[in-house]
């Protein structure tokens, strides 16, 4: 049987996906409004407030008036803004710390900087800071030697401190959809890093060569940036299994791309590629290759005739229309939002594709138009 090739009109699939996401968000919004108006939600808020006040040792006179809970009491304004922080002193003596994850969580646009109390919680193993207006990560992050996960997606971060290289035990770094323009070379000192997500920053053009030291990396996502070529350091990541460099400005692929002999998934759609190198055939574990087929004029025959089980997906995508707007920032935000929606779609699509035991041995190209 010949190679399995799938070609879709990506604009149609994306349109259907965006409609589904939009309807789901509307349902979630209505459900949230319904809960906010319901008596059950009010009771839940009051009970949570009582529990929090008891933990802090706040007397009942501060939050009870005539026997009723006053959730609008000014003395308790800080309640609800306190980050979810698990403190070590709350743990019973003798508990094995390795069996507990200490997690710091923070979200909401009211946050423009990290709380000062955070610097005292150096035992934390995970940070989850998302959807805030925070722009900088303080240098005292170097004190968090037990940190394993640093999740900083969808903020306003414009640079990473050099001190991030002190996190020798860090395994996951996600700074997707921020305002980064570069990555500090000190990141290459995080020798145990396994997952790196820099997607959606829109402005990163290169990665420092020092990242070649990250030999444990298995997942790299640099999609939705401005890379003109695959960084040299990426080609030296010997254990890399997943590489997403879609939505960039790639014009060609390096001829020695086959040195990534552990690579299983390669996402290249929405670039400016006109041909694919034959070296792709020499990658023994490559099982999924996704490209945008509109600009491709040359594809090695060996790829199409491969019998190794490689799924080669060529997405046909219509050009994205740029909305003329006086406010440039609004255009950028629209691009970010579109990239986020497309990444959600591609994640679901790839997962579905991997679950299929087989794909058609023929190619069917369908041209459809859809207006939403």
How do the residues of the chain divide into helix, strand and coil, expressed in percent and rounded to 5? 35, 15, 50
Residue 158 shares a structural domain with residue 51: no
Residue 176 shares a structural domain with residue 48: no
Residue 59 shares a structural domain with residue 118: no
What's the mean per-residue pLDDT of the chain?
80
**Total-model pTM:** 0.71
Q: How far is CA 26 from CA 21, 199, 229, 327, in A?
A: 9, 26, 39, 27
Query: SS3 of 50, please?
Result: helix
**Pairwise CA distance, residues 74 & 87, whole Å:** 26
Residue 123: predicted pLDDT: 94
Phi, psi of 198 (to 5 degrees): -115, 15
Residue whose token pair is 């000190």: 186
* Domain carrying residue 37: 13-69
Work out whether strand 311-316 and strand 195-197 pair parallel, antiparallel, or are unpaired: unpaired
Residue 138: predicted pLDDT: 96
| Structural domain ending residue among the three candidates 27, 52, 69 | 69
Residue 178 shares a structural domain with residue 304: yes
Residue 353: predicted pLDDT: 74
Residue 174: predicted pLDDT: 98
| Span 93-132, pLDDT tens digits | 444 444 445 899 999 999 999 999 999 999 999 999 999 9
DSSP code for 228: S
Residue 228 shares a structural domain with residue 304: yes
| Span 280-334, pLDDT tens digits | 999 999 999 999 887 888 888 777 776 667 888 888 764 444 444 445 555 556 7
For residues 14 and 140, the model is more confident at 140
Residue 349: predicted pLDDT: 80
Residue 221 shares a structural domain with residue 283: yes
Whether 7 maps to a domain, the answer reads no
Q: pLDDT category, 238, cuts 50, 70, 90? A: very high
- Number of domains forming the structure of the chain: 2
Residue 38 shares a structural domain with residue 162: no
CATH code (residue 229) = 3.80.10.10
Whether 242 maps to a domain, the answer reads yes
Residue 147 shares a structural domain with residue 62: no
Residue 225 shares a structural domain with residue 304: yes
Residue 335: predicted pLDDT: 82
Whether 121 maps to a domain, the answer reads yes
> 344 pLDDT exceeds 60?
yes
Residue 146 shares a structural domain with residue 266: yes
Residue 45 shares a structural domain with residue 108: no
Q: Which of 76, 27, 81 is nearest to 56 (CA)?
A: 76
Report yes or no: 81 and 51 within 8 Å, Cβ to Cβ: no
Whether 342 maps to a domain, the answer reads no
């Amino acid at each position: 049987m010949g190679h399995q090739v799938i070609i879709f009109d990506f604009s149609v699939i994306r349109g259907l996906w965006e409609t589904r996401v939009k309807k789901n968000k509307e349902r979630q919004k209505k459900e949230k409004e319904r809960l906010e108006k319901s008596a059950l939600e009010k009771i839940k808020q009051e009970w949570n407030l009582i529990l929090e006040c008891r933990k802090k040792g706040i007397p009942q006179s501060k939050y009870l008036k005539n026997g009723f809970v006053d959730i609008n009491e000014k003395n308790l304004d800080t309640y609800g803004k306190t980050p979810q922080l698990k403190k070590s002193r709350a743990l019973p003596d003798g508990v094995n710390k390795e069996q507990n994850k200490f997690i710091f969580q923070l979200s909401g646009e009211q946050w423009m900087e990290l709380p000062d109390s955070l610097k005292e919680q150096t035992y934390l193993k995970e940070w989850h800071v998302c959807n805030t207006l925070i722009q900088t990560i303080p240098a005292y992050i170097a004190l968090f030697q037990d940190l394993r996960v640093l999740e900083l997606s969808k903020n306003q971060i414009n640079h990473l401190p050099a001190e991030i290289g002190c996190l020798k035990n860090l395994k996951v770094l996600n700074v997707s959809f921020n305002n980064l323009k570069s990555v500090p070379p000190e990141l290459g000192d995080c020798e145990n890093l396994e997952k790196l997500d820099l997607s959606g920053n829109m402005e990163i053009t290169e990665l420092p060569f020092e990242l070649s030291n990250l030999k444990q990396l298995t997942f790299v996502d640099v999609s939705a940036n401005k890379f003109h070529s695959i960084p040299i350091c990426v080609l030296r990541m010997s254990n890399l299994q997943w590489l997403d460099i879609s939505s960039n400005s790639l014009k060609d692929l390096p001829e020695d791309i086959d040195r990534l002999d552990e690579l299983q998934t390669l996402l290249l759609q929405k670039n400016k590629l006109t041909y694919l190198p034959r070296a792709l055939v020499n990658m023994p574990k490559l099982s999924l290759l996704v490209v945008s087929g509109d600009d491709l004029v040359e594809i090695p025959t060996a790829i199409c005739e491969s019998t190794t089980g490689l799924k080669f997906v060529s997405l046909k995508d219509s050009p994205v229309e740029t909305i003329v707007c006086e406010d440039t920032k609004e255009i950028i935000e629209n691009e970010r939002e579109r990239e986020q929606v497309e990444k959600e779609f591609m994640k679901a699509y790839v997962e579905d594709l991997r679950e299929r035991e087989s794909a058609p041995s023929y190619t069917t190209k369908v041209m459809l138009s859809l207006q939403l």
